A and B are shown apart, each in its own frame.
Chain A
């Protein structure tokens, strides 16, 4: 019951959060000194062409009216048409969403698989050489710029060792699109060639995104384990003669991961932000590269559409994290 209340409470905040997001992004978009109508009309357009297009696209109206109109459209499920691609923005976003999710989920999984065990090892071997090495690696992972890391990985694995593709999401145009997730689609269609290609293309961008995230998880997991490992209940479990490995992986980890799980929710948001850069470097056709193109073209509606979708994604992921949190620590479901 408490969990249901928590879900409803989070959902009640969803709409005001999204409304605030739309207002902020809309106002920022309009502060940028560009004229989207002139951009879409092209450099050869006459003033008459520009004026006609401005009326057609509704950019002749005052900002407040444009914002209200946009709210009306969004509420009716219509994000509008991209002034640049001429396609419905929802269509463009829907087509690109699986690419970003596939990348982000893979990166997040990698980060968890790397970060949690290493964080535990680091805590159990506190101040030993392995802890020092992991500390250097994790601090570096947090400090390194994502685009630099991306280019270095490209240079090493693609150009020098030639074991990974340089860019793109797959060779050619992908398998039969059942879900839009190439790995999943390849499995469904038993298209092993596409599966290999999709996995190999996924490796470098996912690794680039995963390393800083793994560093964060590692630090939180280490701190969590250190806090729990010295608590009275662990001392009691030791006194009871429970094997140390069982204490660590069953009792310590469960309690230590509470703050780490919360972090994972926040990391997902960071992954989506970094994806804007990584997708551009690796030509990954996802939401991030769509956002870059939209910003460069001053496609305000597309930028807002991207914000709504990613904002919605982050809200959903945080809701899932809260639910997971309440499973691990029922006291939190209040």
Chain B
């Protein structure tokens, strides 16, 4: 009897041991945008990445920097020789938060839902996947049948986040694919379960102990992501200890301020977020390469990077991030030279008119770079007017060829890790009216970009993207300035943050307190 009791106690202690070892309390993160919607197929912006990454899983997942694609809900995949048929073998025994098993039917439902609702990341798939074409030949196999070969398909697969089909279907209303319900609920296999949600405040996630990927010796029991719009409040809250982390793209003066604090650590990584001037190539005089080059020579790159930004970023002369394949290593780009700018301007045939820069209000780097260019351009005879507006205003105008500004200084973030995310989308005419705001139409460039999309030969793709990057840079289709460094501000006792340019270090399953 005594032995039985001791055995029982030992068994209970053993069962309880991992939970005790994992007890880690709550991590609170101050985010600079609101969590108005939790639907993983409706949102696709960097500001709200935390709910997608921490609540949902994809077939593959991006981790670390440089980014690596690792199998996640899938255990393996194969592609047909023509690059059109992609078969994924799913892991078995993966559980949703409600305890039911995730199967191929859930994957099919998820992609069909994305194609039908046409929101979020769906624009990556709508051009290449027809509704109804994705099949589930058995419980653990999914086959994507693409309309055309797509070398970037694998890079975008992590954006197909898998929802619990049965649960979402049960909450569909008037054929809405459960959008109203999933906007404030979570139906997934993800690392964290939704515990509390208030669109006006944020969300709390509770660790999903049965997650298929298991857990390390330490992990946060709860994660809380709160909306804190004021930069100053986020920074002060971190110093005070109210928050244990905030966004990694704070103004550099705030980073310097945080570096002084003993209870705060700044993690530093070179990201893949290129700051550039989007140039409207489709209207005079900007359709003249000499005018564009004159502008490119009129920007003081070193002054901006070293004096204004205190060397906190790295010069990036072309459209692709320096730290990604497809960026020519010997690309020089433009340097500040007003004499060369004048010489280029002298060759412009069209009448020179004042041009307009749309600067992102509230983003000091966008506004400062616009002013810097304005001052230098004036010296060579180009008048520039600056209109500051919120990003939403700028974005909606950029998507309209007629209403678009002449120039917009902004960042191109990482949505998937492939040069097509930058040079392809920004300058390929297949992306006109979506992510191509330059309104250029260059058949040679288009051919390179389209060929690079159609082949899986990595060496060939690299060659094509490097050629495209050289041409775009040489013809000043955009004015490329720097690649961002990520300065992740966290409480000093937070460890295990795995920064990846996708998600910006907000994938919390790897992190813990010391």
List residues of A whose CB falls within 8 A of some B CB: 32-36, 38-39, 41-47, 49-50, 52-53, 84-87, 92, 95-96, 99, 151, 154-155, 158-159, 162, 165-169, 172-174, 280-283, 285-286, 289-290, 292-293, 296-298
**With A45-B434, A280-B230 as contacts: A285 and B399 at CB distance below 8 Å:** no
Pair B233/A166 contact, Cβ less than 8 Å:
yes
Q: Give complex CA distance A155, B226 in Å.
A: 20
> 25 pairs across A/B with beta carbons < 8 Å?
A33-B397, A33-B403, A36-B396, A38-B396, A38-B399, A39-B392, A41-B119, A42-B120, A44-B123, A46-B123, A47-B434, A53-B118, A86-B37, A86-B42, A87-B180, A87-B199, A154-B236, A166-B233, A166-B236, A166-B242, A167-B242, A173-B196, A173-B198, A296-B392, A298-B393
Contacts of B392 in A (CB 8 A): 34, 39, 296-298
B473 neighbours in A (Cβ, 8 Å): none
List chain A residues, Cβ under 8 A from B411: none
Is the CB–CB distance between B200 and A95 below 8 Å? yes
In the complex, what distance in Å separates the CA atom of A285 from the CA atom of B226? Answer: 11
Inter-chain CA distance A46–B121, complex, in Å, is 11
Chain B: minimal CB distance from A176 (Å): 13
- Tell me, rounded to whole Å, the shortest Cβ–Cβ distance linking A174 to chain B: 8
Q: Mark B183-213, 1 if CB is under 8 A from A, else 0.
A: 1100000000000101111001000000000
When distances are taken between beta carbons in the complex, the residues of chain B under 8 Å from A41 are 119
Nearest CB in chain B to that of A32: its residue: B393
Q: Hey, which chain B residues are within 8 Å of A33, CB to CB?
A: 393, 397, 403
CB of B227 closer than 8 Å to a CB of A: yes
Question: In the complex, which residues 223-250 of chain B have their Cβ closer than 8 Å to any Cβ of chain A?
Answer: 224, 226-230, 232-233, 236-237, 239-240, 242
**Pair A166/B237 contact, Cβ less than 8 Å:** yes
Rounded to whole Å, the gap between the CB of A298 and the closest CB of chain B is: 6
- Chain B residue numbers with a CB within 8 Å of A85 are 36-37, 183, 199
Cα separation A44 to B42 with both chains bound (whole Å): 11
Say if the beta carbon of B34 comes within 8 Å of chain A.
yes
| Contact present for A96 and B435 (CB under 8 Å) | no
**A39, B121: Cα distance in complex, Å:** 15
Tally of contacts, chain A with chain B, CB under 8 A: 140
Complex Cα–Cα for A42 and B120 (A): 7
* Given the contacts A35-B396, A45-B434, A289 and B118 also touching, CB distance less than 8 Å: no
Closest to B124 in A: A44
Complex-state Cα separation, A323 to B131, whole angstroms? 63
Given known A-B contacts A47-B433, A86-B42, A166-B233, A283 and B240 have beta carbons under 8 A apart: no
A298 surroundings in chain B (CB, below 8 A)? 392-393, 396
Q: Give min CB distance, A59 to chain B, whole Å.
A: 12
Question: Given A38-B396, A42-B120, are A285 and B201 neighbors across the interface (CB < 8 Å)?
Answer: yes
B126 contacts chain A at the CB level, 8 A cutoff: yes
A residues near B204, Cβ cutoff 8 Å: 172-173
Please state if B237 and A167 are interface contacts (CB–CB under 8 Å).
yes
State which residues 371-391 of B face A: CB under 8 Å: 390
Given contacts A38-B396, A43-B395, contact A86 B180 (CB under 8 A): yes
Given contacts A38-B396, A39-B396, A45-B123, contact A168 B226 (CB under 8 A): yes
Q: A33-B393, A35-B396, A293-B34 are in contact. Are A46 and B434 (CB under 8 A)?
A: yes
Which residues, 94 to 121 on B, are CB-close (under 8 Å) to A?
A: 118-121
Is B64 part of the binding interface, using a Cβ–Cβ cutoff of 8 Å?
no
The answer to whether A296 touches B390, judged by C-beta atoms less than 8 angstroms apart, is yes
B-side contacts of A162, CB under 8 Å: 240
B45 at the interface (CB under 8 A from A): yes
Contact A44 B44 (CB under 8 A): yes
Q: Which residues of A contact B395 (CB under 8 A)?
A: 38-39, 43
10 closest residue pairs by CB, A with B: A285-B200, A44-B123, A38-B396, A35-B396, A85-B36, A173-B196, A47-B433, A34-B393, A49-B118, A39-B392
Closest to A284 in B: B200
| Alpha-carbon distance between A155 and B257 when the two chains are bound, in angstroms | 15
CB-CB under 8 A from B399, the residues of chain A are 35, 38, 43, 50
Which B residue's beta carbon lies closest to that of A40? B119
What's the nearest-Cβ distance from chain A to residue B4, in Å?
Answer: 43
> Knowing that A34-B396, A167-B228, A285-B198 are A-B contacts, what are 14 other residue pairs whose CB atoms are under 8 Å apart, sorted by A's residue number?
A34-B397, A41-B119, A49-B118, A52-B118, A85-B183, A92-B199, A99-B200, A154-B232, A159-B236, A159-B240, A162-B240, A166-B240, A285-B200, A296-B392
Contacts known (A38-B395, A173-B204, A283-B226); A154 close to B233, Cβ less than 8 A = yes
Question: Which B-chain residue is minimally distant from A49 (CB atoms)?
Answer: B118
- Cβ of B400 under 8 Å from chain A: yes
Q: Is the CB of A42 within 8 A of B400?
A: no
- B37 adjacent to A159 (CB under 8 Å): no
Known: A49-B118, A166-B233. A173 touches B201 (CB 8 A): yes
- Closest chain-B Cβ to A93's Cβ sits at a distance in Å of 11
A158 with B390: in contact, given A38-B399, A49-B123, A92-B199 (CB under 8 Å)?
no
Which single residue of chain A is at the shortest CB-CB distance from B433?
Answer: A47
User: Are A290 and B126 CB-contacts (below 8 A) given A32-B393, A86-B180?
Assistant: no
Tell me the smallest distance from the CB of A98 to a CB of chain B, in Å: 11
A155–B236 CA distance with the chains assembled, in angstroms: 8
For residue B13, give the distance in angstroms from its CB to the closest CB of chain A.
31
B200 partner, pick from A49, A96, A166, A280, beta carbons under 8 A: A96
- Which residues does chain B contribute within 8 Å of A292, judged by CB atoms? 229
Bound CA span A65–B147, Å? 41
Residue of A nearest to B361 (CB): A296
Cβ proximity bits B422-446 to A, threshold 8 Å, 1 near / 0 not: 0000000000011100000000000
CA distance A172 to B225 in the complex (A): 11
Chain A residues with Cβ below 8 Å from B400 are: 35, 38
Most chain B CB atoms below 10 A, which of A33, A173, A293: A173
Q: Are A283 and B396 in contact (CB under 8 A)?
A: no
> Do B123 and A158 touch (CB < 8 A)?
no
Tell me the minimal C-beta distance from A277 to chain B in angstroms: 10
| Most chain B beta-carbon neighbours within 10 Å: one of A36, A87, A155 | A87
Minimum Cβ distance to chain A for residue B32 (Å): 11
> Which residue of B is nearest A290, CB measured?
B200
| Cα distance, A44 to B121, chains bound together (Å) | 7
The chain A residue with its CB closest to the CB of B393 is: A34
Chain B residues within 8 Å of A166, by CB: 233, 236-237, 240, 242
Bound Cα distance from A34 to B39, whole angstroms: 25
Which residue on chain A has the smallest CB distance to residue B394?
A34
B414 is an interface residue with CB less than 8 A from chain A:
no
What is the distance, in angstroms, from A165's C-beta to the closest C-beta of chain B? Answer: 7
